[in-house]
A = this chain, B = another copy of it.
């Protein structure tokens, strides 16, 4: 299992369109990637332009497959119009404990 935190900023003035693209992305991941176990998009409460994805994959294969999907290609192509490409940060994490209740999903 791999956990990814990806964060980046929306272009000012493009917030609604950018948020819509993150929701569409999450729907495509849910429909097409059984190895994506969780995929949540968030907006910062401190910086209204900042977006953070919390992603859990069954393993490295599932994470590599995610990068190769048509919906990821579509997101990449729309990315520079909606987001600040200079500020993308991706981190990999190993889960060491914890839980989720059904209401979390």
Interface residues of A (CB under 8 A from B): 3, 5, 19, 22-23, 26-27, 29-30, 37-46, 52-54, 56, 58, 91-105
Contact = CB atoms under 8 A, between A and B. Distances in A.
Contacts of A103: 37, 58
Q: Which secondary structure dominates where chain A touches chain B?
A: strand
Most buried by B among A29, A41, A103, A105: A105
Shortest 8 CB-CB distances between A and B: which pairs? A40-B98, A23-B97, A42-B93, A100-B105, A37-B104, A38-B100, A38-B104, A45-B92
Given A41-B96, A45-B93, 19 more contacts: A19-B96, A19-B97, A26-B97, A29-B99, A38-B98, A39-B98, A39-B99, A40-B95, A40-B99, A41-B95, A44-B94, A45-B91, A52-B93, A53-B98, A54-B54, A56-B100, A56-B104, A58-B103, A101-B105
